[in-house]
Amino acid sequence: MNLLLTLIATFLIGSIAGFVAGFFGVGGGVIYVPGLLFYFKSITHGSDITQLATATSLGAIFITSSYGSYLHRKKGEADLKQVLYILIGGIPAAYIGAKIAVLIPGESLKRFFGILEIIVAILYVTILSQRREGNRNPKAVFLTITGVLAGFLSGLFGIGGGIIAVPAMNVLLRMPIKRSVGNSSNMIFFNSMAGIASYMLSSPSASLQGNMGYVNLPAAILLGLSSIFAVKISVSLFISSETKSLKIIYAFFLAIIGLKLTL
């Protein structure tokens, strides 16, 4: 692949992922993983290319979420005590999810990820469009259960877990959408660290320059840095905007990617 085209593609993917991550409280894996799958398939062969993509995605998510979580805290839309309860369940679950992902055939993992995106898209169009919210202080046990679910999926699919955590907090726990997104962004930052650690301690069959375990550091760093400017813009827009119509558009976007990965 031409170096210039690679750099342009990296910037575009990182920018789109950064905008999605900052606005919707997700990690950006819904953008990073498909882009990385295409890239790795063009430069190497192996049965664990999907794992390489998901692990490298978590590396980029770590950078993206570090800035996004800071901005949400700065805007006052994150409760660190609630985030702590989520992390109690989320961090060990993310580590376990990443360990299991290494054992699952790449094609199956890709289909599971696609199915998950379709399910979340349906939730955004249906339940989230009619949400009732207002509970800013849900019980700690429910926050911890949310963390377990989101953390496990984060490690398993190489996503930040936000596409599960935000609907769970906003719909099931009835937390305000802005608080849900802010908490999710902070949760993703810590969950991604646990997932990255697990992938870095594993050995892939495909050998790539710059890899530490399954994580391709050059790709992760370039994607993450490319997302920073877009994260700042999207968080500012989110705080000042009504998100209902944009979430419906995002739902169709998720469904298209999910269908592509499952077919």
Domain boundaries of the chain, sorted by first residue: 3-109+121-244
Residue 206: band (very low, low, confident or very high) from pLDDT cuts 50, 70, 90: low
pLDDT of residue 83: 92
Element (H, E) at 75: none
Bridge partners (DSSP) of residue 164 are none
**What is the percentage of the chain residues whose pLDDT exceeds 90?**
13
pLDDT in tens, 7-40: 788 889 999 999 888 887 778 887 888 888 888 8
What is the token pair recorded at 263? Answer: 């077919």
Q: What are phi and psi of 137, to 5 degrees?
A: -135, 70
What is the rounded distance in angstroms from the CA atom of residue 218 to the CA atom of residue 58?
A: 13
Helix (H, G, I), strand (E, B) or coil at 206: coil
Higher pLDDT, 233 or 172: 233
